Structure 1
């Protein structure tokens, strides 16, 4: 397998890790909010919005990269 063939798979795995981290951080923000630190939870969710905003572009780009030629 050529190194260039590995790039789409690598990017896919990085994206999976990013989404898993997003889910874990969201759980932590819920935990923080439940303990009364709503301002911190809001800040966390604001930062996570970037992941949400970029997710569709990342998925579409990965689909193009992984499509057979």
Structure 2
């Protein structure tokens, strides 16, 4: 196995862990957003929803990078 492949695997593994963190953070922010919305703190709920969108967008890009590394 070429050394580059070992490096790609290690990088993909690290990114996978970060992706799991992205999903956990998104789930937590979703719960906070729901609570904020239900308790009349709409501006904070709106900001939290924006953060969730950013996490989702970035998670998709991290997943794409993982796939490219694993295919190399």
- SS where residue 13 of structure 1 aligns? helix
Aligned to 1:48: 52
Structure with bigger RCO (C-alpha 8 Å, 6+ apart) = 2
The equivalences for 1:29-40 within 5 A come to 29-40=33-44
How far off is 1:56 after superposition? 2.2
- In 2, Cα distance between equivalents of 1:53 and 1:18: 10
Aligned to 1:26: 30
- The TM-score with structure 2 as length reference comes to 0.77
- The TM-score with structure 1 as length reference comes to 0.80
Asked if the contact 2:26–2:56 (Cα under 8 Å) also holds between the matched residues in 1, the reply is no
Alignment root-mean-square deviation, CA: 1.8
Which ranges in structure 2 are unaligned for 5 or more consecutive residues? none
- In 1, Cα distance between equivalents of 2:52 and 2:23: 10
Aligned length: 67
Which ranges in structure 1 are unaligned for 5 or more consecutive residues? none
Runs of 4+ in 1 over 4 A off after TM superposition: none
